[in-house]
Structure 1
């Protein structure tokens, strides 16, 4: 029986890197060769102003208000902008705010081979990272957190029909905790002009192992968390997690060729996937499900040569115009089939889209597809593949759906998973925007209140986070089996959860 990605990364090593909100370990980047170290906003400004090809601008932990010199223009090739720590919440760049009433862009790219890594970009009204000149090729976004961006977290416009090619966007976290006002100025869609990424004239982008949370418009009609269109080609979106977005994945007008596979979609107010006026799009082994409604459908309009195979889809498939896609071997869940889904996914309230039993209907019922060799966890599929994003294994529950409707003025601590655990467990918590910048401490105590381990000690970033505890104390010594208390404290507010370590 296959083990889950989480359990494998725990058992593979004792020293853990940064772990994403959905439990994936982020690969560590190679050490940079030529660095410019900055520790305050003035130094950051001068480093951007004096940028040179081949440099890494290495940003020390802290909060950097860049509003005085936005937009930050990247004009030389092969420049990296990188936080010095593995945890992206240690380095936070802030703009004028989600609710700002004017135009704002944080970064503008006029170059290629740019890397953004290990940092948070937050509170920007307009476009956060914009491909200003287009022709911006071979760029990497690695372990970047985008938080409360009012229009586009990544924007590729269409100046002169110039393609940007060969990007990789991986292990990033795209999250909003705010919703635009229906009457906000300069919003052409009545508060719905908002998306995770908006990509025009892009080619050969790899968008994988990211988290997209709560990207919503004023009336539930926000653009896609992944929104690619206007003659983009060869766009691949895979192994991502989507939670509570109005629309998860949109390929529009006209995207030619691309694969959408192994994504887990906890549907929000609208669609799981929308394909409009596009050619040759393949949707393979995705799971789109909502415990609360019939949302999550896949819709097609005016498209041709598309294939929809091995998917679990809540809300069905709708086709208008174009050529009817190949829809072999999908499982369509209606509102009345929640009891069936409960047997497949376990506790519906948790939104865990891993299958819980080898007796589930999707197990061993999939078609063998040459382009689908692994699953959402990155684990190899066997000769009798399952339908959906997960190849059945003894996956621990991952409480993700609870984060689709977070409290606005209080911290939130989810139950640890797995629990009981051995050798490690993941704690997930959220911090509201109003508490950003306050001192944060996450620590483990014994039942009698003795300090065991500090997992985080610094200043709180806003958004949703995860931490791993490997059943060791601050000295690196394994603890005894038993029950322990995890405490998250932000300012004067604390939340606790119990975890049980077994052998």
Structure 2
């Protein structure tokens, strides 16, 4: 696995100089004091160092930037190893907040947490050039927006614990860019208390890099995800959007050695709830996904194109482990397989085109997939010589041989379904 900054990783442009008043932080106490006293338009600048946080750090003020003073994301580390809280960095009732050029690590539950269900919600959060390391549930967790009482034109979302569906607000205009999400190893049951207390629920597989509900107008681009793995292969998608998210653009991300690349929508949500609307998923690369490269279910007018999924592992080489069905439901399997691109149910206007799949399995389409169009995709069961610059590290830029291979191939499946 590749965890450090590789020469092929996207390079973040530097942020402009800090605007407004600058609150300079050199200790943990100063960091928490700054969160309490910062005003709109101010910047919290953190000196290089390793900061062991005693509890969750929360921003509640609009128009704030939290960043390292040096601009070196590896030089400022916010560490939850001694924290009394399961979350590390939270956003509550704040808009237009940026976090840049720092690392968070060693978190039981959620690294960055958008408390969107509280008060006036959150919106326009930007994560820029951050490292999210060893977070044992979600590197970034974004929950549904607040419930809306009475008649509403807002879409319905699933209710909690089997309760009826309810209308909820969207969580708008967030950007995740140039970040590195990685874990040093596969998750264990003893990594966090929920799995220890409920081992039969997810069997150590309750983990993802990003898990976002009710998103609208989000942009996720130029990030790297490495080693997001459950105890026995059943982690959620490294990038996981659901609960009726809309106008989500996911592009130029690299996903390496994760159990699943992307889960975009699930099939088990109630029929009266919102589907995924207007996604654009393009120019992403996914290397050695354990169970699926991209899972798509319940989409309306989404476009998935120019993505590359490379999985040289044959099904005979895969151990018996947790698998997933077309809706993202975990199932035990004695013969687990990887579907590089998997289409679930109830889609209407889903276009899948110009994707490159190198895997023992081809694109998989559920018999109840709905109205989709599949065209100009390339599938190879294997490719030799390696068509990529360095697939061992996840660098799927094509070599000259790779360009020749793809240019000479005839798309194996084209047409409307």
Please state which band the TM-score falls in when normalised by the shorter chain: 0.7 to 0.9
Match of 1:169 among 176, 183, 197: 176
Cross-structure match for 2:153: none
Unaligned segments of structure 1, at least 5 residues: 1-17, 368-503
Cross-structure match for 1:297: 340
Q: Within 2, Cα distance between the matches of 1:105 and 1:278? A: 31
1:284-312 alpha-carbon deviations (Å, 9 max, x no partner) = 00110023336351111112311111111
Moved more, 346-355 or 203-212: 346-355
Cross-structure match for 1:119: 102
Question: Are 2:256 and 2:394, in contact at CA under 8 Å, matched by a contact in 1?
Answer: no
Cross-structure match for 1:338: 383
SS of corresponding position for 1:25: coil
Cross-structure match for 1:475: none
SS of corresponding position for 1:49: helix
Q: Within 2, Cα distance between the matches of 1:28 and 1:348? A: 28
Match of 2:23 among 36, 45, 56: 36
Tell me, yes or no, if structure 1 residue 91 matches structure 2 residue 98: no
1:235-279 alpha-carbon deviations (Å, 9 max, x no partner) = 111001110011111111431110111011112311110012222
Tell me, yes or no, if structure 1 residue 258 matches structure 2 residue 301: no
SS of corresponding position for 1:30: coil
Cross-structure match for 2:194: 186
Aligned 1:341-380 pairs, distance under 5 A: 342=385, 344-345=387-388, 349=392, 351-357=394-400, 360-363=404-407
Cross-structure match for 1:145: 131
Question: Are 1:288 and 1:296, in contact at CA under 8 Å, matched by a contact in 2?
Answer: no
Cross-structure match for 1:61: 48
SS of corresponding position for 2:95: coil
Unaligned segments of structure 2, at least 5 residues: 148-167, 196-200, 267-274, 316-337, 412-417
Question: Are 1:80 and 1:114, in contact at CA under 8 Å, matched by a contact in 2?
Answer: yes
Cross-structure match for 2:89: 107
Tell me, yes or no, if structure 1 residue 210 matches structure 2 residue 223: yes
1:175-230 alpha-carbon deviations (Å, 9 max, x no partner) = 01132224764234121110111100110111000000000111101011110000
Cross-structure match for 2:63: 78
Tell me by how many angstroms 1:62 deviates. 0.1
Question: Are 1:267 and 1:296, in contact at CA under 8 Å, matched by a contact in 2?
Answer: no
Q: Residues 132 and 352 from structure 1, CA distance in 2 versus in 1: closer, same or farther, beyond 3 angstroms?
A: closer
Tell me by how many angstroms 1:338 deviates. 3.2
Q: Within 2, Cα distance between the matches of 1:348 and 1:208? A: 20
Question: Normalising by the residue count of structure 1, what TM-score does the alignment of the two structures yield?
Answer: 0.64
Q: Within 2, Cα distance between the matches of 1:319 and 1:105? A: 38
SS of corresponding position for 1:37: strand
Q: Which has the higher strand share?
A: 2
Tell me how many residue pairs correspond in the alignment: 341
Cross-structure match for 1:378: none
The alignment yields a C-alpha RMSD, in angstroms, of 2.3
Cross-structure match for 1:243: 256
Tell me, yes or no, if structure 1 residue 307 matches structure 2 residue 307: no
Tell me, yes or no, if structure 1 residue 201 matches structure 2 residue 245: no
SS of corresponding position for 1:178: coil
Question: Normalising by the residue count of structure 2, what TM-score does the alignment of the two structures yield?
Answer: 0.76
Cross-structure match for 1:406: none
Question: Are 1:281 and 1:306, in contact at CA under 8 Å, matched by a contact in 2?
Answer: yes
SS of corresponding position for 2:206: coil
Which is higher, the Rg of structure 1 or of structure 2?
1
Q: Within 2, Cα distance between the matches of 1:145 and 1:366? A: 40
Question: Are 1:209 and 1:241, in contact at CA under 8 Å, matched by a contact in 2?
Answer: yes
Cross-structure match for 1:325: 372
Q: Within 2, Cα distance between the matches of 1:262 and 1:45? A: 39
